[in-house]
Chain A
Amino acid sequence: MVEQQRIEPADNGTSGKGGGRARKSSFLSEAWKRRLPLLPAFLIVVVLTQVPFLMSIYFSLTRWRANTAEPREFIGVDNYIDLVSNSFFWSAAWNSILMTVVSVGLSLLFGTGLALLLDRKFFGQGFARTLIITPFLVMPVVAGLVWKNQMLNSSFGVINWFIEGLGMEPISFASRYPLWTIVVVLVWQWTPFMMLIILAGLQGQSSSVLEAAKVDGANGVSTFFQITLPHLRSYLELGALLGVIYLSQVYDHIRVITRGTGSANLPYFVYLRSIGGGWQFGAASAYSIVVVIFSFIIANFGLRVLSGLLTDEGA
């Protein structure tokens, strides 16, 4: 991408000089003919993302409570200093890390298992694949509600029906194990996504390499660990990074299932401090800036892995 952009202007420069005089009717240079149609989209993106971000940075340096009559006041980095000593922030940060790492890890594990099962021909393969992908297509809020009520509700949930059937007391999962309840739902939703990525990796593996391993005397287990897993490494990395980027921003599930009790992550904490009842827009902006910085670091790392993956496959 970057290299292509670098080549284009030079290309236009030479052709522009020669062709410019010959074709007087074209009043736009080649470069602008290409840029102009992209301009509206570019401007919208800037107005909707970059401008609010810059405003957030400014707000994070102010004391601004929306529910009092106090005027907005510039206080420098005080919000960031408060953040360090705020135990709610640290607990939210810890929840964020735990929730993200465990969910991503488990969904990768299950996703790989399912991908291995689906990467062979059997009757109804397409149907099975579609069914397995379905959880990923469900809206997060709907997924949260389905799990909270139909599955986990202590009086009429399916899982508690089983537990009672076994002669045990029903468990109200959402209040007793709030964080792990969220993790279960996240794993359920994200396993299909991981499966798709891993499946793409498996299908990109040359079948003759696997045959060569067979002829060389490797059994199924050693073929998987010595040949397939190293091949999948970059796909696993990609899945992990995309998963981390998305799952560190989870909000919907928490809002629906626990309302943050014992399971608030950083985005939910930002919500609670601002429009979720705290109305401290200045402090909440500071938190969100911290979240953005972390996400940015992860995303950058992710893009590097992604480009590495593409060049690796191209070779």
Chain B
Amino acid sequence: MAVVEYKDVSRIYPGSEIPAVNTLNLTVASGELLVLVGPSGSGKSTALRMLAGLEPANEGSIHIDGADVTDFEPQQRDIAMVFQNYALYPQMTVAGNMGFALKQRKVPKAEREAKVLEAARILDLEPYLDRKPKNLSGGQRQRVAMGRAIVREPKVFLMDEPLSNLDAKLRVQTRAELADLQARLGVTTVYVTHDQVEAMTMGHRVAVLKDGFLQQVDAPKELYHRPANRFVAGFIGSPAMNLIPTDRIDGKVTFGSFQVPLDAQTEKALASQPGVAFTVGIRPEHLQLVTSGIPGEVKLLEELGSESYIHVQVQHEDRDQILVVRTDGDATVSRGSTVNVGFNGPVHLFGEDGLRIE
């Protein structure tokens, strides 16, 4: 149980001008599972590696449980890390892998074996303790990597895309198991992923990074319903939010011949905005097919069974605009047919600088 703090942390790789992580300020509460999510190159892995001590911080400081660990070696930080490729020791058995850290700490053999056995029991690895990693399946290797981390009883778990080498079905299953395990152990965890679904389903809070900058850190629901900027709005949610560039006319945001419905507060905020260019964001589930609305042509139909995503091309401010509409699976439209799209829920508005207006 430990609090992790990043204070104005930056990392500039040698030979690069642009920081991979730029003045990151972030606090992870004790026992929390915080997910760092972002596209590749966003700095999420660098942030994690700095916490592990595998990468130096050029500026700022990192604290674990109040102690400044910025200049500590990884060995001194009392953290355990799960790597994307698992990084198991190939010449050692499963038991050897899991007991390695304890052996380094000169834990007596009997105690070591008891702890390894206990972790193996939690992870269903008991039958495989004598196997070498190469004789294990991907899922089993992943569990060994987890086991290696939990045997240590560290202050913080660091996980660097631990599920990305598993196939889709196993990933979903392991995702739930991992979240459950973390909740049971109650160890502060920093989890890196590029998969926003993983971030949303696992994280107590999710920190979204882009180009080294922290965009927003919030609970998954908050992130979804109140994205702080255009990037977060587009990154979180599947299918992605419809982001439509729009100009303000007569103090109103219009869409074709329709006026975008805004609540009073947003309208007030809008009035004080200097620019004329805005982005309207509408989640696909907040659009629907109606009898009279914005007319458009169905360009693509994605049917998932339980629901369908209908890509409709509409005319907006003299250009073509694709709107993705999420409907239930019974939708009876076909490609090329003409439909009408209407609003059915909250609309997000982002200013010229990309920030949320409300």
What is the interface of chain A, defined by CB distance below 8 A to chain B?
Answer: 206, 208-209, 211-219, 222, 226-227, 230-231, 233, 315
Contacts and interface: CB of A to CB of B under 8 A. Distances in A.
Kindly state the interface size class of chain B when it binds its partner. 20 to 34
Given A216-B148, A217-B105, A219-B75, A211 B83 contact: yes
B104 A218 contact: yes
Nearest to A206: B87
B81 interface: yes
Contact of B89 (A217, A227, A233, A315): A227
Contact of A208 (B74, B83, B101, B148): B83
Contacts of A231: 90-91
A215 B134 contact: no
Interface string B216-258: 0000000000000000000000000000000000000000000
A215 B52 contact: yes
A92 B88 CA distance: 48
A219 B75 CA distance: 8
Judged by DSSP, the binding face of A is helix
Interface in B51-101: 52-54, 73-75, 79-81, 83-85, 87-92, 100-101
Contacts, number: 64
A233 B90 CA distance: 12
Contacts of A233: 91
Given A208-B83, A208-B85, A216 B101 contact: yes
10 contacts: A209-B87, A209-B89, A213-B100, A214-B73, A215-B53, A217-B101, A217-B104, A218-B104, A222-B104, A226-B89
Contacts of B89: 209, 212-213, 226-227
A256 to B, nearest CB: 43
A215 B52 CA distance: 7
A209 B148 CA distance: 13
Contact of A315 (B73, B84, B87, B134): B134
Contacts of B152: 216
Nearest to A315: B134
A214 B85 contact: no
Listed residue (A216, A219, A315) with the most chain B CB atoms within 10 angstroms of its CB:
A216
